[in-house]
Amino acid sequence: MNNLQSRNFVGKKIDDYILVDVLGTGAFGQVFSAQNIITKESVAIKSVPKSKLKEHNGLVGQLLKTEVQVLAQCSNINVVKMNKYLESENNCYIVMEYCNQGDLEQLWKKKNRIIPEVEAIQYIKQILNGMRGLHEMNVIHRDLKLPNILISNNVLKIGDLGFAKRMESLDGVVKEALGTLGTMAPEIIEFKPYGILADMFSIGAIYYQMLFGVLPFSIKSYNDFLKDVKTNQPNFTRNNIKISKESQELLFRMLNPEPKLRLQWNQLYESPLFSNQVVNPALCQLTVEQVVAKQVDLKMNKQVYQQNKQKFENITNQDMINKLQFDVPKLEHKQVMDNSNDEKLLQEALQQKQLQQQKTNDLNNVFEKYLNERNTLVFLGTVLNEIHQRKHTQNTNVFLPAFIISKKLIIEMNRFLEVLKTQRNIYQCSYFFELYTFPQFIAFIKLCEEDFQIQMTHFQVIQSQLQTILFQMQNQANEKYISELQPAPTGQFEENYRDILINYYMQLQDEKGESEDQDNAINNLSIYVLDTILFDRDVKKQLLNQKVDDYLEKFNFLTSKEKEEMIAQKFQQIYSF
């Protein structure tokens, strides 16, 4: 169907749906955005002409049936959900969830075709989780690529399963060569038997493409691709991009041309990129991508592949065939009419779609604001970490400044949690209460609670150490700080907070004189400490619009004289209130 014919479908009424716009056109069908005229829910509808089903000796029809079966049974957050299956006299329609943020290829292009490693790995975690859902159903995708990975409310969803193939067993093989050059595994191109390790190659190619801006091997022709993949290793120096050794090792094993030597699915989660679940005591910057990816249960995924390895090896082909006979999807299969157009319904649907998109944008913007609010507190955690990391002289009292900043962090985190838990609409969002139905916002609140517990544990360690010191060295100067040992703020907290940090700053100046580099490091820390005092007055506002690392990095480019002038200005600010 050409573009003109696709446009003619817009406005058609199919059962309870009205086709609103063309999302994509392929060799075998089209995908439309549509709206349920009763519930006003936005959906995507894939249309395949029945005349196409018999093409390629019936392979198109087989693939459509496979897609319907897979989507109907798969309930994985990272796989597109299917609502129902409809048929008219001339067409088949698959009604699916609508993904309102395009696809991963569009996002990759918006980011100038280079996605930083720390962000890309969050996307890979979601893709792997979706693949786990498909593999549990004995399905290989075979055509994984950036445009086939859709995005809905910041969640990645594997879609376009037109080339997916259900296997008789996870050790089974299929022989049709279907897929895309560049991300398609070499064994598929060579018409060799292949299994789920073909998807491992595809995910490796996608990860490489996100990191380096290009596919790992030549895509001039099938022969060039096969020659390149078999004779050359992946190039990890392209476009002056540097990635971690862990990612290099992972990609090297994922992109092995020989399936038997390729990284196995049960080995994947041994990589430090996925197995590192160590609790970090330092409060770290949190992104939307990290919030979404943290919903992926990596431990469970690892167990699924470990347990299923033996389980599926023991399943015979006949057992699987018997299973498929009883595994028919229980979904609505309905004959419908699709020969009527309704201009009035179309205009109403278009207006509703615009409103829904505006609503989605507003909710995502508000989510970002809450995320930025939380991330301002990373500054306090970073300064606290810097104090712990520095090798001080014996005369410098580290416990008091570390304790008072830790307490400030606890107070601010608790205040922020109260805002979240009591659902205070601090940004005056029109759809505020719907924000609390977003899975990623719910996950965000949970992460904030976990962060608070981690920091509280850290606080209690410093509290215990300081309590021992203060009671051993009781004097008039220390007595006023004993009341601060509890997490709750006292009436004198702000005054004590300032005095302790000013005193720590003065002690840092006494450590100067060893070397120019040492003095430079002390000046940096001095600025951080003074900014910690000014956090509520000025620094927090600046951090709402930039990352903490970027804020701190700018001080590295100042000369010693400029740093000293800045320190003088900050002192003036502190004592001007």
pLDDT tens digits for range 236-282: 999 999 999 999 999 999 999 999 899 988 899 999 998 755 455 67
Q: Give Cβ neighbours of residue 181 (< 8 Å, ≥ 6 apart).
A: 189, 219, 222, 225
Residues 259 and 195: beta-carbon distance below 8 Å: yes
Please, what is the average pLDDT of the chain?
A: 87
Q: Give Cβ neighbours of residue 290 (< 8 Å, ≥ 6 apart).
A: 122
- Phi first, then psi, for residue 316 (nearest 5°) are -85, 160
Residues 471 and 463: beta-carbon distance below 8 Å: no
Looking at residue 35, its amino acid is: Q
Percent of the chain with pLDDT over 70: 89
Distances in whole angstroms, Cα of residue 35 to Cα of each of 156, 216, 342 = 22, 40, 13
What mean pLDDT is predicted for residues 201-218?
97
What mean pLDDT is predicted for residues 283-296?
92
- Please check if 46 is assigned to a binding site: yes
Fold of 3-98: Phosphorylase Kinase; domain 1 (3.30.200)
Q: Which residue has the tokens 């037109």?
A: 162
What mean pLDDT is predicted for residues 71-94?
91
Distance of CA 571 to the CA centre of its chain: 41
Q: Band of the pLDDT at 81, cuts 50, 70, 90?
A: very high
Quote the tokens at residue 26. Answer: 């392929």
Q: Give Cβ neighbours of residue 354 (< 8 Å, ≥ 6 apart).
A: none
Secondary structure element (H or E) that encloses residue 35, with its range: strand 30-36
Phi-psi map region of 309: left, alpha, beta (phi>0 left; psi -120 to 50 alpha): alpha
The bridge status of strand 82-87 relative to strand 333-335 is: parallel
Q: Higher pLDDT residue, 138 or 419?
A: 419
pLDDT at 158 over 50: yes
pLDDT at 321 over 70: no
pLDDT at 99 over 50: yes
Residues 93 and 106: beta-carbon distance below 8 Å: no
* Residue range(s) occupied by CATH 1.10.510.10 in the chain: 104-327
Q: Hey, which residues does 34 pair with through a beta bridge?
A: 19, 43
Superfamily of domain 104-327: Transferase(Phosphotransferase) domain 1 (1.10.510.10)
